[in-house]
Chains A and B, each alone.
Chain A
Amino acid sequence: MKKSVVSKEYQNLQKDILALQENWKKSINPESIIPNLDKGAMSAGVPAAALTSINFEISLFLQWIEEINTLLTKMNPELETKLAGISALVNEETAIRWIDEAFSFNSVYFASFAEENGLEEWIPQFLAETALRPYLQVTAEKVQHEITHAVPGAGCPVCGEPARLAVLRDEGQKVMTCPRCLAHWQAKRIECAHCGNYDHNTIQYITIEGDSTSQIQVCEKCTGYIKVIDTRQYLSMPSSAMLDLNTIHLDFVAQEQGYQVVGQVKQSN
Chain B
Amino acid sequence: MSLITEAAPVEVATPKPPAPRRRKAGGTPYAFLAPALILFAAFLAAPIVYAGYLSLRKVKVSGLGLGSKARTEVWAGFDNYARSLSDPDFLPSVGRIGAYGLIVVPTMLGLALLFALLLDANRTRAGISRVARVSIFLPYAVPAVVASLLWGFLYLPRVSPITDAFEAVGLTAPNLLSSDLTLWAVANIAIWGGTGFNMIVIYTALKAVPSSLYESARIDGASELSIAWRIKIPIVMPSLVMTFVFSLIATLQVFAEPMTLRPLANTISTTWTPLMKVYRDAFARNDLYAAAATSVVIALATFILSFGFLKLVGRRAFDQED
A, B bound: no
Residues of B within 8 A of A (CB): none
Residues of A within 8 A of B (CB): none
